[in-house]
């Protein structure tokens, strides 16, 4: 049965381009059709590969840790409380520059699908 309320401790953890993703709400586990949401965990010193999406736009919301966010070759330090919009077609990368695990929420629209990740 599909659920419309999810908690991290009850959700599936999967490998992600950034590290690990805890899939909260997506097409497979809920009635959500137009977006997905996951908690992303990035180990100290790790980063995603520079990439872009042809269909998805993303929102990141930093929950714990410090990161360097690269959007279209513009780099900025982000900390808890920052929200980051990543438009469709724009190269981006996030790097954990803190001393602990980086934790952020990723909201994707349309819902995340791996075949929409493109590298340089």
Range of the domain at 53: 12-115
In a domain, 6, yes or no: no
DSSP codes of every residue in 65-86: S-EEEEETTEEEEE-TT-EEEE
Query: Residue 1: what pLDDT?
Result: 64
**Tokens standing for residue 107:** 């909201």
Q: What is the CATH number of the domain that holds 72?
A: 2.60.120.10
**Could you tell me which residues come within 8 angstroms of residue 72 by beta carbon, excluding any fewer than 6 positions away?**
90, 91, 92
In a domain, 4, yes or no: no
- Residue that has been written with the tokens 């993303």 in this structure: 58
**Could you tell me which residues come within 8 angstroms of residue 74 by beta carbon, excluding any fewer than 6 positions away?**
none
In a domain, 2, yes or no: no
Count of domains forming the chain: 1
Measuring CA to CA, which residue among 33, 73, 77, 31 is closest to residue 50? 73
In a domain, 3, yes or no: no
Q: How far apart are CA 14 and CA 103, in angstroms?
A: 15
In a domain, 105, yes or no: yes
In a domain, 7, yes or no: no
**Tokens standing for residue 1:** 């049965």
Q: How far apart are CA 2 and CA 17, in angstroms?
A: 26
Report the SS3 class of residue 25: strand
Query: Residue 86: what pLDDT?
Result: 98
Query: Residue 18: what pLDDT?
Result: 86
In a domain, 77, yes or no: yes
pTM for this entry: 0.94
- Residues of the chain with pLDDT below 50 are none
Q: How far apart are CA 59 and CA 46, in angstroms?
A: 20
């Amino acid at each position: 049965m599909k659920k419309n309320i999810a908690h991290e401790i009850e959700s599936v953890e999967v490998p992600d381009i950034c590290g690990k993703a805890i899939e909260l709400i997506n097409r497979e586990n809920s009635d959500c059709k137009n977006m997905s949401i996951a908690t992303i965990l990035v180990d100290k010193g790790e980063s995603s590969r520079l990439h872009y999406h042809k269909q998805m736009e993303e929102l990141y919301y930093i929950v714990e840790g410090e990161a360097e966010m690269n959007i279209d070759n513009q780099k900025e330090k982000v900390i808890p409380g920052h929200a980051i919009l990543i438009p469709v077609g724009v190269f981006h990368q996030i790097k954990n520059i803190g001393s602990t695990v980086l934790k952020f929420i990723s909201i994707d629209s349309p819902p995340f699908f791996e075949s929409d990740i493109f590298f340089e």
